[in-house]
Structure 1
Amino acid sequence: MVWEQVARAFWPLAALLAVIFACFWLGLVAALPNMVLPWAVGASLLVVIAAAVWGGLRFSRVGSGAALTRVDEKLPGRPLSALRDHAALGDEGALWQAHQAQMRSRAAAARAVAPDAGLTRRDPFALRLAAMVALAMALIFGGAGNLGDGLSAVAATLRPQIERGDAVATGPSWEGWAEPPAYTRRPTIYLNALPEGEVLELPKGSAVSFRLYGEDATVTQTVGTDPGEDPQAPAFTAMQSGAVEVMGRHFDIIVLPDAAPLIRPGDAPTRRADGRLVQDFFAEDDHGVVSAEAGIALDLQAVDRRFGLAVAPEPREAVALELPLPGGARQEVQGQLVQDLARHPWANLPVTVTLSALDGIDQQGQSAPMQTVLPGRRFFDPLAAALIEMRRDLLWSRENAGRSAEILRAVTWQPDGFVDEILYLQLRASVGVLETTTLSPEDRDKLAEALWLAAIELEDGGLADALERMKQAQEKLSEAIRNGASPDEIQRLMDELKSATDEYMRMLAEQGQPDPADRFTDNQQQGQVITGDQIQQMMDEIQRLMNEGRMAEAQQLLEQFNRMMENMQVTQSQGQGQGQGQSGEQGNQSMNRLADTLREQQGLSDEAFREMQEQFSQGGQQGNEELAQRQQELREQLGQQQGLMPGQGSERGDAARRNLDEAGRAMEQAEQALRDGDMPGAMDRQADAIQSMREGMRALGDMLGEGERRAEGQQQGQEGQQGDQPGGAMRDGQQQGLPYDRRADRDPLGRQLSGNGNTITDGDPLAEGVDPAARARDLQDEIRRRSGERTRPEDERDYLGRLLDRF
């Protein structure tokens, strides 16, 4: 009831105050002309006073009696009043007592009465609601700055006018600005607007400038360079903390140091299927990396100085490759360098890779030199490999010209049957160039290019040109889709891509393969064959998506097609069985080398343990540096073995590489721990490296075993062998032509089983069905599919994710 009284009496006052506040907050008061503003302020003040007086006269206090009456009126029979009554005639007998009991029961049902100020009746034009809307709009779209401007305008109307004379200043006597370097992306600071005594923090290299309007105005500073020759516009660069004084105003300035950028490489450089160098890197800077590059220098001490490399090399500048950086903020950058260096003279030779980064003030950060072998193209044709080696020797030093001429004469002797006549004439002409008295750098470079082209022709025939045309057609179509080209142009480029792909496959067919696509294998791993029908289906799907206007999906599928073609390699084997034999031989060599490295790592770990025992008994850190050096050599040896491993791009091949990458990182950490004298930490990291190498070798062995089983199964099928049961059914204990003791020793999820792998004999069809490895892949694919369905419960998706993480 008190609220009702206040609302009835003072709602006009509240509405007026809301409207006045909205006018100030929205800047309407400051926008009024100076002639109108005093009258508006006076009228508003009078109206506010009148509303306050009117409300005070209408407000009355509320007593407890009125409250009881208000509640009693809402109850049937007004029981509160009846309970205070007395019998007028006679005594209070049974009837009176029953009446009182009935009233008490009704009084017990008393509840608080909802307030009702009756404002709808008292404000028929809803002026209070209009005031509330004005207040809400002011709070949303207004600001405190408008309120300050309005109050200043009102205060200006109340101050007496000052007579202006000739000596009155019309503006500031100075102005100053502090502009941080552009690469910091900080705004310019107006020094006149800073509060008195505030300490100014500026990045190193900020430009501080002033504009002086008085004749006797001066600037003194201790933070930077010479302020310049113009006394009315001094400017300097803040390089150290200090102070600046101008016309009696003092500024304390703290110059924030700019840290040099940091950059580090990822894993060791790898060779992509097309021979390109791939190097991951990570860079960071407090204000952002401006540029970064990779420097590649010849590691002369690691070169095997034999044959054509025995002579001293001619001077050659280091290779500088610009690292790709994203747009926008570059405080933390993670990227990948992809570069084709197959033609460089140092291809397939030991080099050191050093990454460097620059910030906005040309501070440089460098990574530690990383020793590796510069990736280059591999040549399997003997004559092509010989030409490439001669090319390398000539680029190494022109002193090898005579030796290269003798070798070239030898490889071109009796060329009938293995060297094309035109190529033979070109090679014989090269012999004449090599046997000249002097070989200029220009002639050497031309000859090196000719040897490269000849080797490519021998290795690929005309496939190189066809492959290049297909890549160019892919790039043109991708660019057209991204730029929103017309449908006619996109269709023309699609036809060009189809034509180039057909030409490439036709030339593959001329190499003697029954199916051209059978020569496309994923890094020579058998069993990962992409057929010509699948290639054609993918191109038809791209065409369908473009016809339906789904350009984004077509672009995504085209990029997938591009990646697939880039990761393909043309094998030069004469048959599938031979190719499988070569792949198996390469895999066995990799396994043997990894086994040797694992034994050496185990031996090094044993020596580290003995060294730790001696330290505990005698003290000191004898031999740690030698152990660290040996650990470094093992890590580099493992990195070289990774580049020679087969199966890149396959699931198990990539799993083996990931495990070996983890082993390499553990070796690097163990090496650092040995140098720091932390023997327990070094042994822990060595144990991690051994475990990761074992898992990598296990994955590699699974991949090789699967290829061997597939080859034997195909051979069994080709010989037309039938099982003992009718229809060629397999006998109990055999699957796909393999004897029982050769079955995969894994459960349906691909996990290793105990024993020799043939212990599952309980009749479970899930365990004893067809090839467990194939069943494992099917189950894993199903788990991945279900884990990607967002409609499934979160607990189920978490469980599926744990399965994928573990298996």
Structure 2
Amino acid sequence: MTAGDLKNSLASSSAQNGSLAARLATARRNAALVLRLETLWPALQPTVGLLGVYTVASLLRLPQHLPDGLRLVAITGWLGLCGWRLYRDLTNLKPPSPSAIDRRIESASGLTNRPLATLTDKPAGPADAKTSALWAEHQHRVLSKLGTLRAGWPALLPRTRVHQALAAAVLVAVAGTAFVAGPHALSRIAAGFIPGRDDADVPLPHIEAWITPPAYTPDAPVFLGSSKTSPSVPEGARLTVIVTGLKTHPTVRAAKGMVLTDEATQTLDAQSWKLEVSVKHTGLITLAGRGRVLAQWPVTVLPDAQPSAKWGDKPGAGKGEWRTRLPFEAAHAYGLSALSVELHLTHPGKNTPPRTLTIPLPLSGQPKSIKGAITPDLSEDPWAGEEVTGQIVARSISGHEGKSAPATFHLGARTFHSPVARAVLELRKRYALGRESRNGTATDLEALGETPGPIYDHTGMFLNLTSIVSMLENTRIEPEAARTGAVNMLWDLALDIEDRRKGDDASALASLDVRAAQAAVAQQLRHMREDDNKSQQAREELERRMQTLKDAIARKMQALAAQAMREHTAIPDLPGFSRAGDKAFSKLMQQLERDATNGQSAEALERLQQMEDATERMRNATPQDMAAMAQQMMAQAKVREQTAALRDLTSKQASLLDHAQSRLDEVLRAQSREQNALADDGGDGDQDYGSMPTGELLRRLGLPVPPDAGTAAPPPSPMLDPAKAEEQAAARRTDRANQKALTHALDELKDEFKSLTGKTPAAFEDAQKSMKDARKALADGEDSAAATAQEKVLEALRKGRQQMQDALKGNGKNAMPSFLPAFGGSGGDGSGQEGQSQHGDGGSTPDDESDENGDQQKQQGKRDPLGRRLGEGGDQAPDDGTHVPDTVARQRARDIEQELRRRDSDRTRPQQELDYLDRLLKPF
């Protein structure tokens, strides 16, 4: 057989075993793998043994008792030793040789005489044709006898008894310690091999955790325990965790949608830690430390909604009004921090510069809801009179922002009567809104200055116009700066032209000073409000600016008075008019300064708006207006006189009531002395109270007796001392004469008020009737009836005073507007301020006078509901002696009380008497 025949024999195949070559190659690969495993495992056994020893130590919790630093050193050293041994053993490994692979196949397959070696062997001696044929035949016979070729299973058991004993010892030690550790075995092994990790046998640290809601919420902190319930907290709440008994700092993790932000860790001591984190969104919070989950808390986070804002009814300026009404409503669950209105032009032009007009709305503190309206003066803005779209912007104290639905309305604009002033304002608006170019505006202003009229005739205004034109023509000035400066200066020019339309230079300069002083006061108020500055220096600065404004207003009023004199306009009581105006503005300024000092910025700004309204009406006032207002002031003076007369009449009527009450008190004291004398004599100690009339029992107790509280006739009134009786009779005659005089005074007051207002208070008629009854009772010597009638008089006078106020309010609605704050209100010009006095424009009421004289009334002493000063009357007279009842008198009173209770329970008695007894005994 030749070599080719041998190859064909190896490639031959049978149905069962396939080709011999394929089977032999597979067997050799398997045998090589088995041999590698058998050589690798002995190399790994020392390393595995070392790891097993450390595992036993970990199961016995030996490394865990070491500090983390020493444990890290031990683990590093031991693993280094294992790595060194493994490296040494692996480098000594050699791959199996082909002969070793064949010997493994022969051994595993049970082949004898090493048949696989025949395939590589060669015959000894020289190779001739006969020898080669014989050797080929031999190989063919050997191959034909090969059966299934196997590689066998690797032998992994230690080969020596010593190695077997060591391996068995390590396995027994690991299994035994794992059995002892129980379910904590894995955690012990992990803690032994991982530095800074505790096993399950280490007690958990002490944990205190709570969630603090944001400071702007009213919620209380929520403490977290072992409960699985999910607490509900607001968005932005702060989780605080204090861990005690943990060697390393813990960590907070978020899961299931939870978002944690602003995490902060603080070391309290060596084993105490404090963690803080803000929670957002609902989810699960996990606290982990030293390889373990220390706690888990499901938390439900309530989202913080945006603040709501909406417009009130009818925003914007009405027809002819120069103030813009901005009604607003806003609310948020936790409170509002800022509120404003943002305005945009509804129909901006192509060249209109982008701009947002922001108007802050007043907030007092941080309210949860607010509803109100302000009427700012936006007439100075170039958008005055234009249609704008506004939104209310509300910002909550939690940082969220909400906007209202847009509303469209017109801004208020001042009415200018001068054609030149209106032309200036038209140029100003066109330039500000981008409808007129910069050069075109300068050209138009030059033409306006060259036209004969107020600007051409007045040097100051002409120079002002020239400076505006120069600003516009100066290309070195930025366009925005030129626009802003020109718009402001054109407004001042238009106001100056309008002020000089009817007045002189002094009046115009006074108006200019008033506007400048008002702007200075408004600026200081904003400074005090925004910076929360209420220092002495800020108050002094406000007072200084207020004094400047007061002086400017005084000069304006003097200019109006001088103009009236020049035009020969009759103004009654011109000095009184000036004093009244000065008093009105001074009072308003005092209120403004007091509000600003107390931090009531909204009220202070409202006072300033009232003053601006008054000065605006003063700007348009004519001498005829001053004369009409002077007439109005005279009428108001009469009203104050009538109010003072009514107050004096009420005071005197109360004195008459005091006199009658004093006489009644003297009679009661005489009766009390008589009863005490009888009690001291013991005259009725053994009387049968059951047989006494109810009225008599009540008299014994010193209580008032109803007309039918007993069938027996009342005992005679105690006899007063003749001198005292004569004194009381003389006092009644005097009071009767005074009562008659008060009746005449009331009649005159009624007629005067009717001539002034055309109305008569109906209560005055009732008062006169009660006065007549009081006179009759005094004539008959009935002080009790007189006191009752006089009480009715006081009540009727009180009602009459209120009816006088109502009548004056009604008349004031049709009165002409005034430019004095104390005497005027919102007029037809629409400049009224929201929340202004509801007395109308017609003048002051009796309440005004009462307010002005409030301090004097307080000094006169407090009064009771009947108008009497406390401390007057006989019931307030000092008692010279205090009588303390003895035991017998107290026992007698208790016996009478028990008898009254017995009669109250007797339902057969008259119903009126029972009702009286019920009311009498109810408080006891």
For the aligned pair, the TM-score class normalised by the smaller chain equals: 0.3 to 0.5
TM-score by length of 2: 0.37
TM-score by length of structure 1 reads 0.41
- Bigger relative contact order (CA 8 A; separation at least 6): 2
